[in-house]
């Protein structure tokens, strides 16, 4: 117990030393203190992470661009151990926005100075000539983007953080999309996390039976997760024929740990007849008359996947609010075309 207490105390002492060094702009002391934070990290308890998270987050604007991404990752780790995500998130998203801007400049300068395949965001992939080609700040933005992705997803796992994104969400989405298109490199976790919908109503029509349902979804990272929960709620709930997922298959799509093999029950189709792929997200479902509208057709072939959550740290849910009557269902179905 004494050893454990001392380990925890040393972690917070290292955090305090890092705070002092950063505010005094002492680079060497900052580096030593960061090494001490990492050294004592494994011995710290949840209470220490709760204290350290907001303190490290508040330092982010004062940390130089290069090491700032590492500090952001530590903030994310603290949040995963119980630190207040809402208190930490604004600092992380400010840093993410700056890193995305610098990464965008990196892509533009790379194209303007000869083009060619953009190297991976890995320090070992950029030699000195490449750094001169794009500039140090632009390169740092590109190289640290995976760290900002990790830290930001840790924030976005929390519904309260997602609810407070406001107009920051479309700006970040556009910036991520722009960097992905310019670089041909994938930041899927960050992009999907920014697309997550909460308290989102959805009309679901089952074409074979001519029945319709109003559901509400929150925290679903991809359509594999949505598909499994649709089968749980509608087939498992006795509303539709077919094979219902097991209790465990449904649980791992809500809040239980792990993955369980499952089999698809439907073909997900938009009202325009285009397939809504399991590999996409619920944000792909078209909006009609102010609500997302999804059609369920019989599966054209048997398909299985590991049921679970795209974001293991994010709680998901899908609830049935009411069953549509025949007239309502008919009105919605009249706005839909057959699957293409």
Shared domain check, 227 and 183: no
| Residue-averaged pLDDT of the chain | 95
- Among candidate residues 195, 219, 250, the one where a domain is terminated: 195
Are 275 and 339 a contacting pair, CB within 8 Å? yes
Rounded Cα distance between 289 and 241, Å, is 28
204 assigned to some structural domain: yes
Rounded Cα distance between 204 and 215, Å, is 7
Shared domain check, 181 and 133: yes
In this structure, what is the dihedral angle of CA atoms 180, 183, 188, 194, given to the nearest 10 degrees?
A: -30
Shared domain check, 297 and 186: no
H or E element, residue 319: strand 317-323
Domain count, the chain: 2
Are 93 and 168 a contacting pair, CB within 8 Å? yes
**Band of pLDDT at residue 288, cut at 50, 70 and 90:** very high
| pLDDT beyond 50 at 255 | yes
225 assigned to some structural domain: yes
Return the ∠ at Cα 128 (arms to 122 and 131), rounded to 5°.
65
Alpha carbons within 13 angstroms on the beta-carbon side of residue 251 total 7
Shared domain check, 287 and 229: yes
Shared domain check, 103 and 216: no
Query: Residue 166 CB: number of other CB atoms within 10 A?
Result: 8
Contacting residues for 249 by C-beta, under 8 A, at least 6 apart: 228, 232, 260, 262, 307
For the segment 67-107, what is each residue's pLDDT rounded down to a tens digit?
A: 999 999 999 999 999 999 999 999 999 999 999 999 999 99
For the segment 261-279, what is each residue's pLDDT rounded down to a tens digit?
A: 999 999 999 999 999 999 9
**Token representation of residue 291:** 């609500």
Residue-level pLDDT at 3: 44
In this structure, what is the dihedral angle of CA atoms 35, 40, 46, 52, given to the nearest 10 degrees?
A: -30
Contacting residues for 6 by C-beta, under 8 A, at least 6 apart: none
264 assigned to some structural domain: yes
Are 96 and 151 a contacting pair, CB within 8 Å? yes
Domain interval for residue 60: 45-195
pTM value is 0.94
Residue-level pLDDT at 2: 41
34 assigned to some structural domain: no
Q: What does the pLDDT average to over 184-206?
A: 97
Shared domain check, 224 and 308: yes
SS3 13: helix
Contacting residues for 181 by C-beta, under 8 A, at least 6 apart: none
Shared domain check, 148 and 113: yes
298 assigned to some structural domain: yes
308: left (phi over 0), alpha (psi -120 to 50) or beta: left
Are 86 and 164 a contacting pair, CB within 8 Å? yes
**Token representation of residue 268:** 């997900």
- Among candidate residues 195, 217, 235, the one where a domain is terminated: 195
SS3 323: strand
Lowest mean pLDDT among 65-79, 109-123, 153-167: 109-123
SS3 74: helix
**Token representation of residue 22:** 């950063």
Rounded Cα distance between 5 and 253, Å, is 37
- Return phi, psi of residue 41, to 5°: -55, -45
Rounded Cα distance between 22 and 201, Å, is 46
């Amino acid at each position: 117990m004494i050893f454990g207490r001392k380990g925890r105390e040393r972690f917070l002492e290292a955090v305090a030393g890092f705070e002092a060094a950063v505010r005094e702009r002492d680079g060497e002391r900052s580096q030593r203190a960061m090494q001490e934070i990492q050294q004592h990290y494994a011995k710290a308890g949840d209470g220490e992470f709760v204290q350290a998270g907001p303190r490290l987050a508040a330092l982010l604007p004062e940390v130089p661009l290069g090491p700032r991404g590492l500090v952001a990752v530590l903030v994310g780790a603290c949040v995963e151990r119980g630190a207040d995500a809402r208190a930490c998130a604004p600092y992380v998203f400010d840093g993410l926005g700056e890193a995305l801007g610098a990464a965008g400049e990196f892509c533009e300068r790379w194209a303007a100075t000869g083009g060619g395949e953009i190297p991976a965001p890995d320090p070992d992939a950029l030699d000195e000539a490449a750094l001169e080609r794009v500039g140090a700040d632009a390169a740092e933005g590109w190289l640290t983007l995976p760290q900002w992705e990790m830290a930001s997803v840790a924030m976005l796992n929390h519904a309260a953080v997602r609810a407070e994104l406001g107009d920051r969400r479309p700006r970040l989405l556009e910036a991520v999309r722009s960097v992905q298109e310019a670089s041909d490199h994938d930041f899927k976790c960050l992009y999907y996390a920014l697309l997550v919908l909460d308290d989102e109503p959805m009309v679901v029509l089952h074409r074979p039976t001519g029945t319709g349902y109003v559901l509400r979804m929150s925290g679903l990272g991809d359509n594999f997760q949505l598909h499994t929960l649709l089968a749980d709620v509608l087939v498992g709930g006795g509303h539709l024929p077919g094979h219902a997922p097991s209790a465990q298959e449904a649980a791992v799509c809500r809040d239980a740990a792990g993955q369980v093999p499952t089999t698809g029950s439907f073909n997900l189709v938009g009202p325009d007849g285009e397939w809504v792929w399991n590999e996409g997200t619920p944000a792909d479902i078209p909006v009609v008359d102010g609500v997302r509208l999804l059609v369920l057709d019989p599966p054209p072939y048997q398909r299985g996947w590991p049921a679970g959550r795209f974001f293991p740290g994010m709680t998901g849910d899908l609830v049935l609010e009411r069953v549509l009557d025949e007239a309502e269902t008919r009105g919605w179905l009249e706005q839909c075309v057959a699957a293409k």
